[in-house]
Amino acid sequence: MHIGVFTHWTSVVAQGSATAAWYAFALLVAVNFIPVIPIPVIAAAAGAVFHFWVAFLVAWGGAAVGAILKFLLERVLLQRHLLKLSGRFRISQTVLAFLERHGFTAILITRMIPVFPSSVINLAGAVAKIPIRTFVVATLMGKLPTMLAFTLAGSQLRRHLWTTVALVALYGALMVLAGWRLRLRLRQFSLSADKQN
């Protein structure tokens, strides 16, 4: 994305009008395809500019729609080629097998971890044989708490700085715990797959 276009979009969003809400939505969709800045940062900025519920719906809707569109595009264009490539690497076969068996839970949990790259989740979901409906529902549910937390943080930042910092830190700690549990499950799955082979 050209930096001038991005600057224009962000300046329009800062105005806080109805047009600005649509710009913010479009920006969140676009960032899924061309990661300029992290999605939670845009959600927090929307929370600081718009009324809370408007900001939340814009952030959640834009982030989810962008992720789903990218997933569908990658499934159509890349799935066959990447499946062939993944056959050469044992770790990728294990991850894909895990996703095919535990796709909903894996997508749901990784969506809730704001530092986990959305592009990686989209691509892994597109390559694995996760049903489209499963991916869509897990993405909508997984994006909800993240966008809610960061939109709320943005809306409260000026008035309640330390409360906001504490809430974001608590959310971060819970997500690290969830990521650790997912990693343990993946390791157990890998070990049981090795025993069967």
Provide the Cα torsion 187, 95, 113, 188; round to 10°: -20
| Domain count of the fold of the chain | 1
pLDDT score for 197 = 54
Band of pLDDT at residue 93, cut at 50, 70 and 90: low
Q: Is the pTM of this model over 0.85?
A: no
Q: What is the pLDDT of residues 112-167, one digit of tens each?
A: 877 677 887 888 888 888 899 999 999 999 999 889 888 888 887 666 666 666 76
Given a cut of 90, whether residue 94 has pLDDT beyond it is: no
> What is the mean pLDDT of the segment spanning 76-100?
69
Side chain identity at residue 73, one-letter code: L
Q: Which domain holds residue 183?
A: 3-196
Provide the Cα torsion 31, 140, 113, 171; round to 10°: 110
Side chain identity at residue 164, one-letter code: T
Q: What is the pLDDT of residues 52-83, one digit of tens each?
A: 899 999 999 999 999 999 999 988 888 777 76
CA–CA gap between residue 58 and residue 66 (Å, rounded)? 12
